[in-house]
Chain A
Amino acid sequence: MIADAATGVALALRGEGDPYALSRTLRQGDALALAAIRVLGADALAPYALGHRAGPGGEDESVVREALAAYPPGVAASDVSVWSYRGLIEASHAFLNGGADGWPRPPEAGAGWIGTDPWPRLSHRASQLAALALPGLAPGLAEALAARTDDLSRGFVRAVRRQDWLQAAGLGRWLARLPEVPPTLGLDGGLAFVRQMSGGDARVALHVVAARRFHGRGW
């Protein structure tokens, strides 16, 4: 289900298939569909970031509202989970034309780790928040990560060596958004390499196509 949804988003970002509608990609009323939206986070709405917003009050809005209501981060939720949830709320504000009314209030997400995590752990966390690399989302997070661009680049190297293609793709996507990625990293070739080595993993493909579509990196 998550792979299907990711594939639907990636297709839409490539400009292939019918015009995107999240509610068409997933069966409504299905608990798994809501779970998939929560897992994809802001990426569930990524195609709308290309310009054609969904109208207010539509089916997409209601399905996202359902997902937010069904899977709020609990009291013990990790920072990554809270950030990801925030990302979905932010994306709803930004891309669904619904305004800020009536949505859950974005929960406070811990940010201390961005400055203090050793780079392998930082990289793993950041990669799981790659949906927040969508243009305009989470400016504070992006700014804090920009201060650790070299560390995230090292994380990309490590992830490729470990054949952790999903982590590599997520980091590559962040690095595509950040302004000062080291030229010797070879980010463009790296994104293409990761996509091809992953053997068609849908979530990897989504990160790579998003890096290309929104930030012009990779091929």
Chain B
Amino acid sequence: MITDRTAPAESVTLTAEVENLVDSAEPDAVFRDTRECGGGLLLLGLLLISPPTPRPKTDAR
């Protein structure tokens, strides 16, 4: 924060921006998970023979 009160407004803004860039807030998280692809048809084939076996967990959605 500059202390020179006579500084032009533009400079004050720039100073604040610099502080923000030097110490910035964490960006919001982006979460990506693997999509299942490629095995779909095969899985469907197996389903006809036997139902999907239950798993003691929740599959990734």
Contacts and interface: CB of A to CB of B under 8 A. Distances in A.
The DSSP consensus for interface residues of chain B is loop
Contacts of B3: 74-75
Contact residues of A: prevailing secondary structure: helix
A187 to B, nearest CB: 21
Contact of B27 (A74, A128, A164): A164
A81 interface: yes
Interface of A: 2, 31-32, 35, 38-39, 41, 71-78, 80-81, 84, 124-125, 128, 161-164, 167
Contacts of B24: 128
Pairs of residues from A and B, 6 with the lowest C-beta to C-beta distance, nearest first = A74-B1, A162-B29, A80-B23, A163-B30, A78-B23, A39-B21
Contacts of B14: 31-32, 35
A71 B18 contact: yes
Given A31-B14, A74-B2, A76-B1, A163 B29 contact: yes
**Chain B interface: which size bin?**
10 to 19
Contacts of B32: 163
Given A161-B31, A162-B31, A128 B23 contact: yes
B18 A35 contact: yes
